[in-house]
A and B are shown apart, each in its own frame.
Chain A
Amino acid sequence: MIKFLRKQTHYSFVFFLVISLFPLLCVLAQADVSFRDVTTEMGIDFKHFNDFSPAHRLVETMGSGGVLFDFDRDGDLDIYLVQGNSLTDPNPNLINRLYRNDAQTFTDVTVDTGCGDSGYGMGVVAADYNGDGYQDLYVTNLGPNVLFRNNGDDTFTDVTIAAGVTCDLLSTSAAFADIDQDGDLDLYVCNYVGYSLDDDIPCYYQDIRIYCGPNDYQGIEDTLYRNNGDGTFTDITRVSGTYIPNTRGLGVVFTDLDNNGLLDIYVANDMNPNTLFINQGEGKFVEEGTRRGCAYNADGIANGSMGIDAQDFDNDGDIDLWMTNFSLEANCLMVNDGDGYFDDFTFDLDLAKPSFHLLGFGTLFTDYDNNGWKDLVVGNGHIWDNVCLIDPSMSYPQPLQIFANFKGQFQNKTDQIGLDQNQYVVRGLIRGDIDNDGDVDLVLCQSNRHVVVLRNEVGNRQSWIVFRLIGKGKNTDAIGSRVQLTTNGITQTSEVICGASYLVGNDMRLHFGLDDADVIEKVTIRWADGTLQTLKDISARQMLTVTQSQF
């Protein structure tokens, strides 16, 4: 009897212990670090320089960006980061930086590779514009942009003038895609406002010197270049139907919004209606942003749009749009009805309030927790370093935000995963699987601050797959190709997109979170030229390279 009682006491103690520790375990689980700052341990020491001055010159607050790409084709992502410079006395040694990824330790190879432009930099994208299998770089600047051709031997050559893509304006984001299905990559360049240092306008809030708003400067047109297939480009802005004067382009994405197999162009403009150029084929476009419901938000307002991304967040087979906006404006989620018409459901999906007092720039859809639903990441940071003097409810550095997506409903997880503990002044926000471990890491390009690399520590606990598509012909990056895959009754859709976010280029491999699926029943690839390919019963948790048939 006594023995029995002792045994019962023992069981009671264990039970008591479990009950007592359960809340603690829950708390520990909730405090799980999803993203860890690995910048220093990876060897990235890049600090952006914007030549901040009391004069608050417009361009100081705009940059900069960077790109994750595999310049040496060794299978991992290298990183190129864009630098500012002195606006009055440029320093030739203050240049953009290329870091090579050597087993997650990055080495600065800028000088050896010859891609260190010293212009006052804004953004950059990478794509194989000449079809030699190596990704090249297009850098946007205040003043002449630069096209660096990747020579395939770990060096780059500035071919800007010969290629005819100088675009001597205040350019911001850019993107490559094959608009006319002739097999090579064309180039869209966003241009912001007519600006030169001599024309800089002093702006004030009461007697506080601030950076000017977009309406203080005349907007200018963006530029669309057609690739001639011989290493040169032709400016086709006016003949293509994409010429709109007085816009203030900051973000751009090529994507097939009306599901007709042709890549459309969506541009985020700052306080101008966003523009949607519907591809008519053969390099012709018609602007239909207003008609299709994505020029203005649900309040009929043309937002101060900055960053942009385009993905199928609700897994219904079409591409939706997401834009970050100025402070005191909610960000904007435009939901595609399947035919390329949009409704603003930002408020209905609880995405409005968390963004209202923040100023969003770089932004991404990405399935950070690999649950099969694309989440939203928003990089914030005000343009006014002194914003707290103007509105005490706002701060200059601001938190990175994550909105977790499950079945098309978003939940703000920023605090829960500890991202509220750090404040950043984000401009470019880049996604990519830097350590090739099956989840998506982040790079934060800050204004006048150090770049930050955040490694995803939780994503690959769930299943995943990464596709690297190699297109036939000159579009070796397979930009514009669309992959649909089905697991557990859910069909995900994703496109190879060059550019997006703000001033950056992302990892162009397609990453899919698969929840608990071990096998993908069916994968359909719609290659950029429209040909279809189907794969069946593909194992999860692998990086799969798929090469388009040459025939």
Chain B
Amino acid sequence: MRLRRYFCFVGVCWLLLVSLFCDADQIETSPSSAIRSVLDMIEWIGISDGEFIMGSTEEHIENFYQESKLRSSMLERPSFEAETPQHKVYLSAYQISRHEITNAQYRVFINQTKRPKPRGYKGEDIWANSILNVDNQPVVGVTWFDAYAFANWIGGSLPTEAQWERAARGTDGLIYPWGNSPPTRKTANFARHLNRPSMVGQFPEGASAEGVDDLAGNVWEWCLDQYDPNFYQEISDPNPANFRHKNVLTDRVIRGGSWDYGRVFIRSSLRFKLYPLDSTNNIGFRIVRRINSEMDR
């Protein structure tokens, strides 16, 4: 059993390294037509540099926790405590994709790189399911490594947890991307209202002030960081990101909730995690890139 785990670990590391080298190579050369075609499909929203409020106060999390208990969410108190302390974070300017990466965009990537197709928790073919395979739906059934590879292939990155939260909450620490009013059917795809991921950008009333869509609900979004509930207590640097664990299979941060999760989970400061090799029918991603990056020219 230990030997099997070892080979599994080595295999994953190998795949990761290969994808990193491949992507690094692509970044240095001019983009292929496939990459260009995907880039043409992606709309970018610029986020200017500066400070924003990240996390929640003790008072806030107490309220959120009490509400969560009444909502039978099964979230324990430590899930909320991981949002503390509330702190200011400086981020350099970046661009974030307005929408989650779609099936159409991901298909180009798969065809080009021969990486595995999206698959569900039990390995089922996500694209064989007609409620998940529509071109303009966000791709789901991708592991963190899949998402990471795509982001690198396109010349970008997965958002750090801080970048994701800044895009969702603005600079003022909003509860939801659209503000502090409760979510409705018109602002987000959540609580099984549609019982599937919606087409991206279908909830304009739920966009952030800067115009980023679907940050609440629709699909969970992989972030770059490893998950550490104590990370907020220890960071003070600009542009924080957590890669401190040596184990490449450490849980990664996911954010934003999804179509089949309730209101508790789509709050923009809620930190959630997932094993990086897991792929389910509610996990997708979006990407970020530096402003004036090579790919932008």
Q: Which residues of A contact B (CB under 8 A)?
A: 273, 290-291, 293, 295-301, 328-330, 337, 341-345, 347-348, 352-353, 356
Q: How long is the Cα–Cα vector from A290 to B185 in the complex, in angstroms?
A: 11
CB distance from B220 to the nearest CB of A (A): 13
Q: How long is the Cα–Cα vector from A273 to B264 in the complex, in angstroms?
A: 19
Given contacts A301-B72, A328-B72, A347-B67, contact A296 B192 (CB under 8 A): yes
The interface residues of chain B lying within 8 Å CB-to-CB of A273 are: 192
Q: How long is the Cα–Cα vector from A297 to B263 in the complex, in angstroms?
A: 9
The reply on B70 being an interface residue by CB < 8 A is yes
Q: How long is the Cα–Cα vector from A348 to B193 in the complex, in angstroms?
A: 18
Given contacts A341-B185, A343-B184, A343-B185, contact A300 B191 (CB under 8 A): yes
- Assess the B192–A290 pair: CB atoms within 8 A: yes
Closest 10 CB pairs of A and B: A299-B262, A300-B191, A343-B184, A300-B262, A298-B263, A300-B192, A296-B192, A299-B71, A293-B185, A293-B193
The interface residues of chain B lying within 8 Å CB-to-CB of A348 are: 182
- Assess the A297–B185 pair: CB atoms within 8 A: no
- Assess the B194–A299 pair: CB atoms within 8 A: no
The interface residues of chain A lying within 8 Å CB-to-CB of B185 are: 293, 337, 341-343
The reply on B30 being an interface residue by CB < 8 A is no
Q: How long is the Cα–Cα vector from A330 to B192 in the complex, in angstroms?
A: 18
Given contacts A290-B193, A290-B194, A293-B193, contact A299 B182 (CB under 8 A): no
Partner of A300, one of B70, B182, B186, B261: B261
- Assess the A329–B191 pair: CB atoms within 8 A: no
- Assess the A299–B195 pair: CB atoms within 8 A: no
The reply on B112 being an interface residue by CB < 8 A is no
Known contacts A293-B193, A297-B191, A300-B192; 11 further A-B pairs (Cβ under 8 A): A293-B185, A298-B190, A298-B191, A299-B71, A299-B73, A299-B262, A300-B191, A300-B260, A328-B72, A337-B185, A343-B185
B64-99 contacts to A (CB < 8 Å):
67, 70-73
The interface residues of chain A lying within 8 Å CB-to-CB of B72 are: 299, 301, 328-329
Taking each of B194, B263, B264, which has the highest tally of chain A beta carbons within 10 Å of its own beta carbon? B263
The interface residues of chain B lying within 8 Å CB-to-CB of A356 are: 70
- Assess the A347–B194 pair: CB atoms within 8 A: no
CB distance from B39 to the nearest CB of A (A): 35
A-B pair number, CB within 8 angstroms: 60
Partner of B191, one of A296, A328, A352, A353: A296
The interface residues of chain A lying within 8 Å CB-to-CB of B70 are: 330, 347, 352-353, 356
CB distance from B116 to the nearest CB of A (A): 29
Q: Mark B186-202, 1 if CB is under 8 A from A, else 0.
A: 10001111110000000
CB distance from A84 to the nearest CB of B (A): 32
- Assess the A330–B71 pair: CB atoms within 8 A: yes
CB distance from A202 to the nearest CB of B (A): 27
**Chain A to chain B contacts (Cβ below 8 Å), 12 pairs:** A290-B192, A290-B193, A299-B71, A299-B262, A299-B264, A300-B191, A329-B72, A330-B71, A337-B185, A343-B184, A343-B185, A347-B263
Q: How long is the Cα–Cα vector from A38 to B108 in the complex, in angstroms?
A: 75
CB distance from B140 to the nearest CB of A (A): 16
**Residue ID in chain A nearest B67 by CB atoms:** A347
CB distance from A181 to the nearest CB of B (A): 29
- Assess the A291–B194 pair: CB atoms within 8 A: yes
- Assess the B194–A300 pair: CB atoms within 8 A: no
The interface residues of chain B lying within 8 Å CB-to-CB of A352 are: 70-71
- Assess the A344–B191 pair: CB atoms within 8 A: yes
The interface residues of chain B lying within 8 Å CB-to-CB of A329 are: 72
- Assess the A299–B184 pair: CB atoms within 8 A: no
B256-284 contacts to A (CB < 8 Å):
260-264
**Residue ID in chain A nearest B262 by CB atoms:** A299
The interface residues of chain B lying within 8 Å CB-to-CB of A343 are: 182, 184-185
Q: Mark B123-166, 1 if CB is under 8 A from A, else 0.
A: 00000000000000000000000000000000000000000000
The interface residues of chain B lying within 8 Å CB-to-CB of A290 are: 192-195
- Assess the A300–B67 pair: CB atoms within 8 A: no
**Residue ID in chain B nearest A345 by CB atoms:** B182
**Residue ID in chain B nearest A356 by CB atoms:** B70
The interface residues of chain A lying within 8 Å CB-to-CB of B192 are: 273, 290, 295-296, 300
Q: How long is the Cα–Cα vector from A348 to B184 in the complex, in angstroms?
A: 12
- Assess the A300–B184 pair: CB atoms within 8 A: no
The interface residues of chain A lying within 8 Å CB-to-CB of B183 are: 298
**Residue ID in chain B nearest A335 by CB atoms:** B184
Q: How long is the Cα–Cα vector from A337 to B190 in the complex, in angstroms?
A: 17
- Assess the B263–A299 pair: CB atoms within 8 A: yes
- Assess the A301–B262 pair: CB atoms within 8 A: yes
CB distance from B271 to the nearest CB of A (A): 19
CB distance from B176 to the nearest CB of A (A): 13
The interface residues of chain A lying within 8 Å CB-to-CB of B193 are: 290-291, 293, 296
Q: How long is the Cα–Cα vector from A347 to B73 in the complex, in angstroms?
A: 14
The interface residues of chain A lying within 8 Å CB-to-CB of B67 are: 347
CB distance from B258 to the nearest CB of A (A): 9
Q: How long is the Cα–Cα vector from A300 to B183 in the complex, in angstroms?
A: 13
CB distance from B224 to the nearest CB of A (A): 27
The interface residues of chain B lying within 8 Å CB-to-CB of A341 are: 185
**Residue ID in chain B nearest A357 by CB atoms:** B70
The interface residues of chain B lying within 8 Å CB-to-CB of A298 are: 71, 183, 190-191, 262-263
Q: How long is the Cα–Cα vector from A348 to B192 in the complex, in angstroms?
A: 19
B176-231 contacts to A (CB < 8 Å):
182-186, 190-195
Q: How long is the Cα–Cα vector from A330 to B69 in the complex, in angstroms?
A: 10
Q: How long is the Cα–Cα vector from A328 to B72 in the complex, in angstroms?
A: 8
The interface residues of chain B lying within 8 Å CB-to-CB of A301 are: 72, 262
Q: How long is the Cα–Cα vector from A300 to B263 in the complex, in angstroms?
A: 8
CB distance from B198 to the nearest CB of A (A): 11
CB distance from B175 to the nearest CB of A (A): 12
CB distance from B292 to the nearest CB of A (A): 41
CB distance from B283 to the nearest CB of A (A): 16
CB distance from A295 to the nearest CB of B (A): 7
Q: How long is the Cα–Cα vector from A352 to B68 in the complex, in angstroms?
A: 11
The interface residues of chain A lying within 8 Å CB-to-CB of B264 are: 299
The interface residues of chain B lying within 8 Å CB-to-CB of A293 are: 185, 191, 193
The interface residues of chain B lying within 8 Å CB-to-CB of A291 are: 193-194
B34-73 contacts to A (CB < 8 Å):
67, 70-73
Q: How long is the Cα–Cα vector from A522 to B71 in the complex, in angstroms?
A: 42
- Assess the A347–B71 pair: CB atoms within 8 A: yes
Q: How long is the Cα–Cα vector from A330 to B70 in the complex, in angstroms?
A: 7
The interface residues of chain A lying within 8 Å CB-to-CB of B194 are: 290-291
**Residue ID in chain B nearest A298 by CB atoms:** B263
The interface residues of chain B lying within 8 Å CB-to-CB of A299 are: 71-73, 191, 262-264
The interface residues of chain A lying within 8 Å CB-to-CB of B191 are: 293, 296-300, 344
Q: How long is the Cα–Cα vector from A352 to B66 in the complex, in angstroms?
A: 11
The interface residues of chain B lying within 8 Å CB-to-CB of A337 are: 185-186
